[in-house]
Amino acid sequence: MKPRVATVWLGGCSGCHMSFLDMDERLLELADRMELVFSPFADVKEFPADVDVTLVEGAVTNTENEHFARIIRERSRIVVAFGDCAVTGNVTAMRNMFRVDDVIDSVYGSNGDGPVTKPDDYSCIAKLLPSARPLHEVIPVDAFLHGCPPMADQIWFAVNELLNNRLPVFSTVFLRYG
Ligand code: SF4
């Protein structure tokens, strides 16, 4: 049976996933060697059980991310922090120097620069956490793939190592390329 692989987009810009696509024709080889069971690239609504490897892009920045991260951890044998936002918080964590209420006021334009569009009822929107957090502060992470975004060659190297079941070599250090 082919390894079951997932990719997830939490609090990030999607640039890490765009870099994944930059593997170009090598994606065809990967498609032969693994089964992509969940991803922004695939129309799958629910994160499945028994996933071998999950690459997680983005920091954990709201309650929905936090809940999803725990589901990913429960259902994945190997979890990889994919890109600097997942590894350190990076760009997503730049809002950590501000109060959450001020961030929301600014985003919804009530800071004097535009019309106030802030909704009255937030009950259907995931709440921002007090700070955006790197993935390993929320769930145990097995490997860290640096870069903003990681280069396609780095991703190719890392995914090949994972598909060849060589994670134990990297389990306590950062995955590096070159
Ligand atoms: Fe975007 Fe860089 Fe964060 Fe990836 S690491 S989600 S490219 S800002």
The half-sphere exposure of 24 on its side-chain side, counting CA atoms within 13 A, is 2
84 in contact with ligand 1, CB cutoff 6 A? yes
CA of 148 to the centre of ligand 1 (A): 5
- Residue 165: the pLDDT is 83
- Residue 172: the pLDDT is 42
- Which residue's CA is the nearest one to ligand 1's atom 6? 12
- Residue 177: the pLDDT is 44
Give the mutation target among 84, 88, 145, 155 for probing the ligand 1 site: most ligand atoms within 8 A of CB: 84
151 in contact with ligand 1, CB cutoff 6 A? no
How many Å apart are CA 9 and CA 130, to the nearest integer?
20
Give mean pLDDT in consecutive 10-residue pieces for the chain, a chain of 178 residues.
96 97 96 96 94 97 97 97 97 96 77 63 82 98 93 93 71 45
- Residue 168: the pLDDT is 38
CA of 121 to the centre of ligand 1 (A): 30
150 in contact with ligand 1, CB cutoff 6 A? no
Q: What is the pLDDT of residues 168-178, one digit of tens each?
A: 344 444 554 44
- Residue 114: the pLDDT is 60
89 in contact with ligand 1, CB cutoff 6 A? no
91 in contact with ligand 1, CB cutoff 6 A? yes
90 in contact with ligand 1, CB cutoff 6 A? yes
